[in-house]
Structure 1
Amino acid sequence: MSKRILIVEDEKNIVDILSFNLSKEGYDTLEAYDGQAGLKLALEENPDLILLDLMLPKMNGFDVCKAVRAENRSTPIIMLTAREEETDKVLGLELGADDYITKPFSMRELLARVKANIRRIDMISDQPQAPAASAADRLERGRILVDMGLLMAFKDNRALDLTQREYELLKFMAAQPDKVFSREALMEHVWNYEGYVGDVRAVDVAVRRLREKIEDDPANPSFIITRRGLGYLFHEG
């Protein structure tokens, strides 16, 4: 069954180009030209991925993203923006967007990011949805437990309310404790962007959000440690 991509963009020429190229890759597309219509389609049609412009009539992309996440939808969201301001990009990530791409963008790059995010969701869907039957399916790291059967993480035996991305980031790093991973490596292994070279702020935002949920004091982390100039590592604390 073909994957469906929802395009929420008010410039018809961009919608037409995106729809044409996505269709060539075998995707079905849905289109909305304002934020309200985009949100309605996102909630009613449950697409496999959303390409979401920031500057939209009736409801901006930030509010659409926030509303989708408020409904506990984990649909991957890639924000499209013509802005260069860092605060806009970071705000989008803080509200739950998986990534952003700045206009004008190369179609090759956009398609690569679409494929990576859909592949990530498919990999999660293929994992068992039952409690881990053996120690091999559990990562016990001191006060932190990652249960790969439940697709959940626990701290001091209490479930952590993590997004899929936060869970994947924690699982990947906890699987190799005390090993430093560069931001580029995390983009490649957690975001599935092969050979990634580019903006890595998505990693910093995800780490900050994860720290807010697992650390006793996020300002002085004991689990997710920064190695200045190198990257991040997981420590049992």
Structure 2
Amino acid sequence: MKKILLIEDEANIRKLLAYDLKLAGYEVDEASDGEVALQKALSNRYDLFLIDWMIPKIEGIDLVKMFRDKGLDGVMIMLTAKDEESNILEAFEAGVDDYITKPFSPRILLVRVQSHLKRHSSKKSQDFSGLKVDENKRKVYVHDELLQLTKKEYDLLTYFIRNANIVVSRDQILNDIWGFDYDGDTRIVDVHTFKLRTKLKDAPIEIRSSRGVGYILEEKE
């Protein structure tokens, strides 16, 4: 499920857009100001950002610059009443992928969100240290051999790849892969990671345990 961060300070608009996006099958997080948005963006992975320009604490245009400076590669769509050419140019120079002026049709917004996510996903067949991940087909190859993974193992592997060379805690993995509503034991993370590590024995990468913390994906030495 694609994950969207909706950044909008007007509660009525935010709730309406969030409802429509969830109805369309997206997972949606909300932020009503720039500081909350920045915190969420840096602690989660989002496929797309919907960003209102005029929001409290940190303006949308500055958020875009911060997100791009920090290497966030999700689709970024600016939502704003600013319709001057200079504003539009400034936004694209900052790093947005699209610019939608208010008022707008929610149906048109959904179509553009779908279009951007489809194109963005098509770019995500990636090669990581000899391990090829085709995110469109949800398939993984090690030295051109198809790796037989369960759905959860695939989700877990792509999660580790997105966070390569970073130690991620068991709680963080549990929240991001199993969801905040999962009330089981964190040992489920260890069980699935063990199975995944076994299947990656011939791969040029490995998932290492960080004692007492979690796991880290790195290249084999």
**Which TM-score band (shorter chain)?**
0.5 to 0.7
1:43 corresponds in structure 2 to 42
**TM-score under structure 1 normalisation?**
0.53
For the residue of structure 1 that corresponds to 2:123, the secondary structure is helix
Tell me which amino acid in the other structure corresponds to 1:41: K
Mapped partners of 2:118, 2:126: distance in 1:
13
Please report how far the alpha carbon of residue 43 of structure 1 lies from its aligned counterpart in structure 2 after TM superposition. Answer: 1.6
Query: Does 2:98 correspond to 1:95?
Result: no
Larger C-alpha radius of gyration, 1 or 2? 2
Q: Which residue of 1 aligns with 2:113?
A: 114
**Match for residue 71 of structure 2?**
72
Task: Report the counterpart of residue 6 of structure 1 in structure 2.
Answer: 5
Q: CA deviation at 1:129?
A: 5.4
TM-score (norm 2): 0.56
Tell me how far 1:126 sits from its aligned partner: 2.4
Shift of 1:124: 0.9
- Percent of aligned positions that are identical: 42
Q: Which amino acid aligns with 1:27?
A: Y
Query: Which residue identity is paired with 2:66?
Result: A
Which range moved further: 112-121 or 10-19?
A: 112-121
Distance 1:66 1:42 in 2: 13
What CA deviation, in whole Å up to 9, does each residue of 1:11-44 have, x standing for no partner?
Answer: 0001111111001100010000001111111121
The match for 1:228 is: none
* Partners of 2:74 and 2:38 in 1: CA distance: 12
1:75-224 paired onto structure 2 within 5 Å: 75-128=74-127
Tell me whether 1:58 sits opposite 2:57 in the alignment: yes
Give the deviation of 1:73 after TM superposition: 1.4
Which ranges of structure 2 fall in alignment gaps of 5 or more residues?
131-221
Q: Could you tell me which amino acid in structure 2 is paired with residue 37 of structure 1?
A: V
Distance 2:119 2:35 in 1: 28
RMSD: 1.4
Displacement after TM superposition at 1:48 (Å): 0.9
Q: Distance in 1 between the 2:108 and 2:63 partners?
A: 24
| Paired residues, number | 130
